[in-house]
Amino acid sequence: MHSTQTRLRHGALTAGAAVLALLAVGCSEVSAGPQTGGCRDDGGWSKRQQATWLRSAVAFHGTADTAGASHEKASVVIRPPRTGDVRVLCRPLAVQVGFWTLTAATTGPETSFVMRYRLSADGSRTRTVVFPAGLPTGQDGTCTRVLVAAYVGSPLAGDELLRATGDLATAGDKDVRFGTERIGAHRLLPPRDPAQCDADRSTPSPSPTGSTGWDIYHP
């Protein structure tokens, strides 16, 4: 009889300990902060917050700052962030990588759309977008430069596109302005023909670069 009561008491204590352990786990999961455990909750992020995450994940490879450099092997790489909260996002972000050409004109740089890639990114793996082949380089006698940008959400609307670059011959990344906060990162490539860009400062009406209108989607 005594041994039976002992076993019952021991069983009750064991069950109670298990319940307390489960409760403790539940409480710890509920109180877990944004920096601990699981995926990173981005469900309530604003477009600015999404762009900030993307900015930390984007790298441009093979885009030398030297004028006249070839960018045939250039690419845009979206990799897992290396600083801060590096957990995978709970909800993958829609990311667009767009390419444009800027051609010198008397009224300011003329922008032409070239290509756009769409992909999803959550920081779980590295995604690479190579530069499209046959980008215009100004070999037709015009001052032409290539602009690439990575941004979140849907394709840019008209009022979100590039606003100003200043003097196209000398403009840098800091001179590029978009009408939206969705841009994660951008790069204005140096001219392939610097002499042509210098000459176009006094050219009355160089011919604009035509748009190919390509639109490529990546899952």
Q: What was the pLDDT predicted at 64?
A: 67
Query: Domain for residue 200, yes or no?
Result: yes
Query: Domain for residue 178, yes or no?
Result: yes
Query: Domain for residue 1, yes or no?
Result: no
Q: What was the pLDDT predicted at 65?
A: 64
pLDDT in tens, 174-210: 999 999 999 999 999 988 778 878 766 654 444 444 4
Distance CA 104, CA 148 (A): 17
The residue ranges of the chain whose pLDDT is under 70 are: 1-37, 64-70, 137-139, 199-219
Q: What was the pLDDT predicted at 164?
A: 75
Instruction: Establish how many alpha carbons lie within 13 A of residue 84's alpha carbon, considering only the half-sphere containing its beta carbon.
Output: 12
Q: What was the pLDDT predicted at 70?
A: 65
Residue-wise DSSP of 1-62: -HHHHHHHHHHHHHHHHHHHHHHHHHHHHHH--TTSSS-B--TT--HHHHHHHHHHHEEEES
Query: Domain for residue 9, yes or no?
Result: no
Q: What was the pLDDT predicted at 37?
A: 62
**Which residue is associated with the tokens 């600015």?**
48
Query: Domain for residue 94, yes or no?
Result: yes
Query: Domain for residue 6, yes or no?
Result: no
Query: Domain for residue 98, yes or no?
Result: yes
Total domains in the fold of the chain: 1
Q: What was the pLDDT predicted at 41?
A: 96
Q: What was the pLDDT predicted at 43?
A: 94
Residue 204: which domain range?
47-217
| Model confidence, pTM | 0.73
Query: Domain for residue 20, yes or no?
Result: no
